Structure 1
Amino acid sequence: MNNTKSKKIGFVVKNDDNAIKSSLILEKWFNQRGIEIIRKKGLPISEKSSETDFICIFVLGGDGTFLSASRWAGIKPSPMIGVKFGEVGFLAEISEDQIFPAAEAIINGNFTVQHRIRLEITLVRNGKTIVSENVLNDMVINKRSLARLARIKTIVNDFSLTTYTGDGLIIATPTGSTAYSMAAGGPIIHPYVPCIIMTPICPFTLTNRPLILPEFSKIILEPEERSSELILTLDGQEGIDIMAGDLIYVEKAEYPVPMIMLSGNDYFDVLKKKLRWSGGRI
């Protein structure tokens, strides 16, 4: 077992009949091997697990469930593995029919860990921190209404870069490059590439294009007074109203998300299936 001090595994389960049924069977399987299961049970997204010594965290559901689990796991999460139910997800390592071979491999330590960077997002209003959260995929500033353009002054490493004018702005990790950023025209970035992606949403100025920054970049965003009502969304799950004068600080988080990788699985297989690319494997 990869962690002899821990006899606990975390479960985060989608509210889906098949996922719940599978989780109960898997929980019994682990219990028979002397491993306790700690479940996330209807906690608010902002609440964090008090456990820090999991062997791993099993996430049974889709990408949204995985994003919720990564926040529940806290600042320094235990290794996580996604189990997909339904359509192919970018964050799922295995499908439901592979659960027990994967569980056996994990308790025997037969896996590797890929560290996915997260972003630390801090919202400051009148000198007071309103929000401080880590995101695995992205943060998004967009409009609540259609009346006006969003105008977001952007500073990178103390350099005044530009004022993005349009429907909003996405700042994403490589993991999040295949989410909203890709839909808005941003590039697909392999998870091993250390960077931060800035993708404008429907920019008013066509020369405002997606920008790839080094992972050590420090970004400050300031909505201008002429902007319409704006909302800050974290990993597509938590929305916070923002207003002119707010400052949003974005930088690489100290601790990444350790994702369990099993032999025989490849990131490009997921891309091919999810994006329906043609061509066979060599």
Structure 2
Amino acid sequence: MTDRIGIVIKNEEYAQEKAGELVRTLGEKCVVIDTRDSGKIPDDLLCLVVLGGDGTFLHVARFIEDRDIPLMGVKFGEVGFLAETTEERLYQAIESVFKKEYLIQERTRLDIKVVRNGERIVDVDVLNDAVINKSALSRLASCAVFLDGNYLTTFRADGLIVATPTGSTAYSLAAGGPVVHPEVPSIILTPICPFTLTNRPLLIPDSTPIEIRLEGSPEDMILTLDGQEGFDMDPGDKIFIKKSRNIIKMISFENQSYFKVLKTRLHWSGGK
């Protein structure tokens, strides 16, 4: 069978138009994937090409679950930290994929579990982050954090972000967290506007299991995964976070592409 790629399209008119052009050009070498049905991903795909911004890429990363299929992001959104190429270089990038002239970058994910009354109600992998905060903006969240079974501290803040290195350039960065290279094996804890100013962002080894317990009056608490999926929390809920066994494979075309993306997206001196 001829090598082919899968295409996932952002629900936006322009992205749909570009996808139509791509399908007409590639013909049988491509197949459009409907992310409403995870059971219909063909086993013979070289990769999934994601036509959209970072939000679409994160959606696809959750959609493929534990499947061993690389993703290639194409920038249509405003930021595009997860995009390897742009619309202008789309056909050149796809040609390189068919020639198998590319690199694979492995990105870690976090395994997020929520236990309520002894029952597991959430069991999801995230690529960027898990965020705990109050739906009522005027109230502080109190999150007791345990690392490898040992009590660390209780963060009293507008919320708490637990992020991967990939997610370090997302909400965590906006909340004052550090930029962490994706190959640094770590998990980032970033309090959002902490009540105690000595509560600063913390990097821990990604081998460290995390448990978070909600303290005080945890009504109206929300757990948000990758900024897209939200769960209402109840008093007594426990959140368990650890490095997932399932990685995400991202297609890249040069070794130092991460730093080029970083400079460009953050508008650092020399970014073009």
Is 1:216 equivalent to 2:207 in the alignment? yes
| 8 Å contact kept, 1:93–1:265 | no
Q: Secondary structure at the match of 2:46?
A: coil
Q: Secondary structure at the match of 2:190?
A: strand
Q: Secondary structure at the match of 1:227?
A: coil
Residues 97 and 146 of structure 1: CA distance in aligned 2, closer, same or farther (over 3 Å): closer
Equivalent of 2:80 in 73, 89, 102: 89
Give 1:161-176 correspondences, 5 Å limit: 161-176=152-167
Q: Secondary structure at the match of 2:80?
A: coil
Is 1:179 equivalent to 2:179 in the alignment? no
Which residue of 2 is the match for residue 16 of structure 1? Answer: 12
| 8 Å contact kept, 1:147–1:228 | no
Is 1:64 equivalent to 2:55 in the alignment? yes
- Residues 98-147 of structure 1: CA deviation (Å, up to 9, x unaligned): 11111111011110100000001011100111111110000000101134
Give 1:1-282 correspondences, 5 Å limit: 7-31=3-27, 34-40=28-34, 43=36, 48-51=38-41, 53=43, 54-263=45-254, 266-279=257-270
Aligned equivalents of 1:261 and 1:268: distance in 2? Answer: 12
Aligned equivalents of 2:74 and 2:140: distance in 1? Answer: 40
Number of matched residues?
271
TM-score (norm: length of structure 1): 0.90
Aligned equivalents of 1:246 and 1:52: distance in 2? Answer: 38
- Report deviation, 1:177: 0.2
TM-score (norm: length of structure 2): 0.94
Aligned equivalents of 1:48 and 1:77: distance in 2? Answer: 13
| 8 Å contact kept, 1:13–1:59 | yes
Structure 1 stretches of 4+ moved >4 Å: 5-8
- Report deviation, 1:27: 1.8
- Report deviation, 1:35: 2.5
Residue identity in the other structure for 1:16: E
RMSD across aligned positions (CA)? 1.9
Q: Secondary structure at the match of 1:208?
A: coil
Aligned-pair identity in percent equals 47
Aligned equivalents of 1:144 and 1:23: distance in 2? Answer: 37
- Report deviation, 1:60: 0.4
Residues 115 and 276 of structure 1: CA distance in aligned 2, closer, same or farther (over 3 Å): same
Aligned equivalents of 1:121 and 1:264: distance in 2? Answer: 30
Aligned equivalents of 2:206 and 2:42: distance in 1? Answer: 26
| 8 Å contact kept, 2:219–2:235 | no
User: Mind listing any 5+ residue stretches in structure 1 that lack a counterpart?
Assistant: none
